[in-house]
Amino acid sequence: MFYFCEAFLSDPMPVKDKDELTAIHDEHVRYIAAGAERGVVVFGGPKKANGGVVLIKADSIEGCQAFLAEDPMLKAGAQRYDITEFQIIEHNPCLDPLLAE
């Protein structure tokens, strides 16, 4: 199953120090990249404003939530996720290998 995860930055931001927030964000980027290497993250990236999006492939909502629970931005309270479960029906053929797994 696939999960569209939309991230929103916290307001007010609990991390006040800009350097600390930058370090946490850098950890977040590495965490998402590691998820992509493991095949959990299909894609991810920042929105133009306020957070980002991540498409996660997991066996269950609990698996998705477990992955997100270790995200450094979430752990720091710097963002939250809204999760939408969905099934891919129509798609570009380039996604066939992903959907065949």
Q: What are the tens digits of pLDDT across the range 38-80? A: 999 999 999 998 999 999 999 999 999 999 999 999 999 999 9
Q: What is the pLDDT of residue 100?
A: 80
**Exposed/middle/buried for residue 54 (C-beta within 10 Å: 0-12, 13-18, 19+):** buried
Task: Spell out the domains of the chain, with CATH numbers in brackets.
Answer: 2-100 (3.30.70.1060)
Which of 30, 28, 36, 34 is closest to 71 using CA atoms?
28
Q: What mean pLDDT comes out for the span 7-15?
A: 96
Residue with tokens 């995860």: 5
Query: Three-state DSSP class for 6?
Result: strand
**Sequence-ordered alpha helix ranges (H) in 10-95:** 18-38, 61-69, 72-75
Share of the chain above pLDDT 70, in %: 100
Average pLDDT, the chain: 95
Give 95's pLDDT tier (boundaries 50, 70, 90).
confident
Q: What is the pLDDT of residue 92?
A: 93
Is residue 6 scored above 90 in pLDDT?
yes
Dist CA 68 CA 88 (whole Å): 21
* Element holding 100 (H helix, E strand): helix 96-100
Which position has the higher pLDDT, 2 or 100?
2
